A and B are shown apart, each in its own frame.
Chain A
Amino acid sequence: MTYTIDVEGLTKSFGPTTALAGIDLQARPGTVLGVLGPNGAGKTTAIRILATLLRPDGGRAVVDGLDVVRDAVEVRRRVGLTGQYATVDEDLTGTENLVLFGRLLDLPRDEARARARRLLDRFGLAEAAGRRASTYSGGMRRRLDLAASLVGDPSIVFLDEPTTGLDPGKRDEMWRTIRSLADDGTTVLLTTQYLEEADALADEISVIDHGRVIAHDTPAGLKQLVGGQTVVVRPRDPDLTTAAAGIVERSTGHEVDRVRRGVVTAPVADERTFTEIVHELERGGVAVTELALRLPSLDEVFAALTRPEAVPA
């Protein structure tokens, strides 16, 4: 299996501070890899190394088959960078920014203009194209920033916390844009502190903390990895709640977590138990309005993973 992004044992220190303590990341072609972690976990350092802005102290980072240190110039032709630390010039208009980047990528002037126009259209900035970027709203600026990283038609895009500071509506808009990128076959590496964002966008997630990966899986796999699943039962008739709780307790062999406002929740070990509960509820004549097997939220996953005792030494 060849990975479009392949990072092995990457280390980087700034003076006494260890930003990356040997990190491994892999992304398959055309997928979205979410790198999830709190502030200071090393996400931005990793992205800066991958985008050739920083030199690693040790380890290896290969992008599209090219070493980011040895083949830095060629890597720069193939990647786009957007996020906290790469940005557009606020004194220039949207068009001027994109045309400048096109010119720096050695596009002929006409082609640079045409591409700028296409990207501005695609990102809903056509009307603001002639205005200085300093007059743009936060959401518009992020979109221009993303457009800027796509001028060279990169096959790999790095997004460093692309929605930090955006309000929810703008965030959803950005999410749609990022998904459309991946749908077009671009490999995306996305860092985020929002578990919801990684869950919504990523095919696979690497959770990092203190400069190392503490978990890697698909969003669903990750949720399963830590903590069991929970069954949720809401009888149609609230008076039957106690009966429902009894059924759940018999099937799972556990006491129910809580019975609150007519909802019974209890941990379950496997899907078979869930099927049994469904069966027993039917036999007992307990009609339900809600019956679900719920995975723990990513927030819970993360809390569990970053508990000191959960981190492998």
Chain B
Amino acid sequence: MIAHSLALAGRSLTKTRRNPGVLMDALILPVLFLVLFVYLFGGAVAGSTQEYLQYLFPGILILTTVLAGQIATGMSIVVDMKKGVFDRFRSMPVSRSSLLVGSVLADSVRYVIAVVVLFGVGYLLGFRVETNAAAAAAAAGLAIAFGFALSWITVLVAVLLRDETMVSTVGFLLPFPLVFGTSMVAPAETMPDWLRTWADVNPVSHAIDASQGLLLGGPVAGPVAMMLLWGGVFLAVFGTAAVTAYRRLT
């Protein structure tokens, strides 16, 4: 099963290398948000663009990995199912879960590229890690793990709906309430009650708190534990549901 997953992940990587366009939305969108928010709202929200960049960057890191996981993962699965490539695999003695795991594994490469690019752009704009390199690496690693866990939501949608348009819509829209409905862009205290309530219960808030703690200093242990817990819940619930739904296709 591991060998099969790796062989299938290798296939996905070859495909990504040959169609680099898939990578672009995962790379460009977060950078676009970063630049947009920092220069449009930075002065108004935080007094200076520089201070706002420090505040915003940890959240954008989470946005990056969530976006990287959402759109392309589901899309490639839908395309495989429609074109019959999955049928060929399914007619072979290959475990059903390794098909999904291989696909998701290959995406981890995309996460790493997206995160590296984001840190590069952030550095050029003037973002500086206020803790240390190890904490920054931990922030990046956790963000990737979190994005991976959430990506099973679109995998489930892909398996259930098998429609490119639906999957790209869900994959594109879902990150907004989840990632923006937090203190990522502005402190939650300034929000209307209903939004602050959502931000308080929103699992992604923990991820952003953890990211801020690791990159800028501040409480780390609590938010990281909550982030891991929620990541585990997403993985268990949506991962299991996706694999079950996929098996049920027969």
Q: Which positions in A face B, CB cutoff 8 Å? A: 51-55, 73-74, 76-77, 79-81, 84-92, 96, 100-101, 103-106, 132, 148-149, 152
Distance to closest chain A CB from B22 (angstroms) = 11
Contact indicator A81/B88 (Cβ below 8 Å): yes
Q: Do B89 and A53 touch across chains, with their CB atoms under 8 A apart?
A: no
Q: Which residues 11-25 of B sit at the A interface, judged by CB distance below 8 A? A: 11, 14-15, 18-19
Contact A86–B91 (Cβ < 8 Å)? yes
Cβ-defined contact, A92 with B88, below 8 A: no
B residues apposed to A, CB below 8 Å: 3-4, 7-8, 10-11, 14-15, 18-19, 83-85, 87-94, 250
Closest 3 A-B residue pairs measured CB to CB? A87-B84, A76-B93, A103-B7
Q: From A54, A91, A152, give the contact of B14 (CB < 8 A).
A: A91
New A-B contacts (16) at CB < 8 Å, excluding given A53-B91, A85-B84, A89-B11: A52-B91, A54-B250, A73-B93, A76-B93, A76-B94, A81-B91, A86-B88, A87-B87, A88-B88, A91-B15, A91-B19, A104-B4, A104-B93, A104-B94, A106-B93, A132-B18
Q: By the criterion CB–CB under 8 Å, are A104 and B87 in contact?
A: no
Could you tell me the distance between the alpha carbons of A74 and B91 in the complex, rounded to whole angstroms?
11
> A132–B4 Cα gap in the complex (Å)?
22
Instruction: Tell whether, in the assembled complex, residue A53 and residue B7 are in contact, meaning their CB atoms are under 8 Å apart.
Output: no
Q: Is the CB of A89 within 8 A of B93?
A: no
Most buried by A among B10, B90, B92: B92
Which residues of chain A have C-beta atoms less than 8 A from B11's C-beta? 89, 92, 96, 100
Q: Which of B11, B83, B89, B93 has the most CB of A within 10 A?
A: B93
Residues of A within 8 A of B89 (CB): 104
Count of inter-chain pairs, beta carbons less than 8 A: 73
Please tell me if the beta carbons of A76 and B92 are within 8 angstroms of each other in the complex: yes
Residue in contact with A76 in the complex, picked from B10, B15, B91, CB distance below 8 Å? B91
Distance in Å from the Cβ of A138 to the closest Cβ of chain B? Answer: 15
List the A side residues contacting B84 at CB < 8 Å.
84-87
> Would B18 and A91 count as touching, CB distance under 8 A?
yes
Q: A85-B84, A88-B85, A106-B3 are in contact. Are A101 and B92 (CB under 8 A)?
A: yes
- Known contacts being A53-B90, A91-B19, A103-B3, is A96 close to B85, with CB within 8 Å? no
Q: How far is the CA of A55 from the CA of B90 in the complex (A)?
A: 13
Please give me the residue from chain B that is nearest to A109 by CB atom: B7
CA distance A171 to B92 in the complex (A): 27
Bound CA–CA A90/B83 (angstroms): 10
B residues near A85, Cβ cutoff 8 Å: 84, 87
Known: A53-B250, A87-B84, A103-B7. A96 touches B14 (CB 8 A): yes
Q: Which residues of A contact B250 (CB under 8 A)?
A: 52-55
Chain B residues within 8 Å of A148, by CB:
88
Knowing A100-B7, A103-B7, A132-B18, say if A79 contacts B91 (CB, 8 Å): yes
Task: Determine the distance from Cα of A292 to Cα of B3 in the docked complex, in whole angstroms.
Answer: 62
Query: What are 28 of the A-B contact pairs (CB < 8 Å)?
Result: A51-B91, A53-B87, A53-B91, A54-B250, A55-B250, A73-B93, A76-B94, A79-B91, A81-B87, A85-B84, A87-B83, A87-B84, A87-B85, A88-B88, A90-B83, A91-B18, A96-B11, A96-B14, A100-B11, A103-B4, A104-B7, A104-B8, A104-B92, A104-B94, A105-B93, A106-B3, A106-B93, A132-B18
A80 to B83, CA, bound (A): 18
Question: What chain B residues lie within 8 Å of A100 (beta carbons)?
Answer: 7-8, 10-11
A77 to chain B, nearest CB (A): 5
CA distance A84 to B15 in the complex (A): 22
Contact B92 A152 (CB under 8 A): yes
Tell me which of A86, A92, A152 contacts B87 (CB under 8 A): A86
User: Contacts A55-B250, A92-B14 hold; do A87 and B88 have CB atoms under 8 A apart?
Assistant: yes
Return chain B residues, CB-CB under 8 Å to A103.
Answer: 3-4, 7
Find out whether the CB atom of B83 lies under 8 angstroms from the CB atom of A92.
no
Q: A152–B11 Cα gap in the complex (Å)? A: 19
Chain B residues near A55 (CB-CB < 8 A): 250
A101–B8 CA distance with the chains assembled, in angstroms:
10
Name the distance in Å between B133's Cβ and chain A's nearest Cβ. 37
Q: How distant is the Cα of A202 from the Cα of B88 in the complex, in angstroms?
A: 24
With A and B bound together, what is the CA distance between A88 and B80 in angstroms?
10
Closest chain B CB from A96 CB (angstroms) = 7
**Cβ contacts under 8 Å, B85 to chain A:** 87-89
Nearest residue (CB) in B for A80 is: B91
The smallest beta-carbon distance between B244 and chain A, in angstroms, is 15
Please name all residues of chain B whose beta carbon is closer than 8 Å to the beta carbon of A51 when the two chains form the complex: 91
Contact A105 B14 (CB under 8 A): no
Looking at the assembled complex, report how far the CB atom of A158 sits from the nearest CB atom of chain B, in whole angstroms. Answer: 8
A89 neighbours in B (Cβ, 8 Å):
11, 15, 85
Expressed in whole angstroms, the Cα–Cα distance for A91 and B79 within the complex equals 12
A82 closest partner in B (C-beta): B88
Nearest chain B CB to A110 CB, angstrom units: 15
CA distance A88 to B89 in the complex (A): 10
